[in-house]
């Protein structure tokens, strides 16, 4: 079984790197702040999870596995929450969504009507 560990870790590393690449491409290609933030928080979290899993599988020691799991849980709890708070702050500061946005739930909440331009 130990001969397959580097291959499994390599596959997990490639999967994680692929999702991080997708997040980076999303940052470059998507239209506005909210779409970019969504790509970075979702795909980035999955990518980092794959890289942490590769780290845990490759080393296989209890302390490394626990640290990798703790790092992933911390990242899983903080990345989406911080993206949500940054998006809310940007909306409050006046940065409106792009014209591709079909429904703006925050404009209904704030009493203003949303008209994409």
- Residues 69/72/74/78 CA torsion (nearest 10 deg): -160
Give the CA diameter of the chain. Answer: 62
Give the mean pLDDT of 48-54: 95
Residue 50 and residue 94: Cα distance in Å, rounded? 36
Q: Is the pLDDT of residue 114 over 90?
A: no
**Domain range annotation of the chain:** 5-110
pTM value?
A: 0.80
What is the CATH topology of the domain spanning 5-110? Helix Hairpins (1.10.287)
Asked if 71 and 54 touch (Cβ cutoff 8 Å), the reply is no
Q: What is the pLDDT of residues 69-108, one digit of tens each?
A: 999 999 999 998 999 899 889 988 888 888 887 777 777 6
């Amino acid at each position: 079984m130990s001969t397959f560990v580097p291959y499994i870790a390599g596959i997990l590393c490639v999967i994680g790197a692929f999702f991080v690449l997708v997040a980076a491409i999303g940052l470059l290609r998507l239209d506005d702040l909210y779409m970019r933030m969504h790509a970075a928080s979702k795909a980035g979290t999955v990518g980092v999870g794959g890289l942490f899993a590769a780290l845990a599988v490759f080393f296989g020691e209890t302390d490394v596995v626990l640290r990798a799991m703790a790092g992933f849980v911390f990242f899983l709890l903080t990345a989406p929450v911080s993206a949500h708070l940054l998006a809310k702050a940007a909306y409050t500061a006046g940065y409106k969504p792009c014209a591709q946005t079909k429904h703006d739930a925050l404009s209904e909440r704030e009493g203003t009507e949303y008209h994409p331009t």
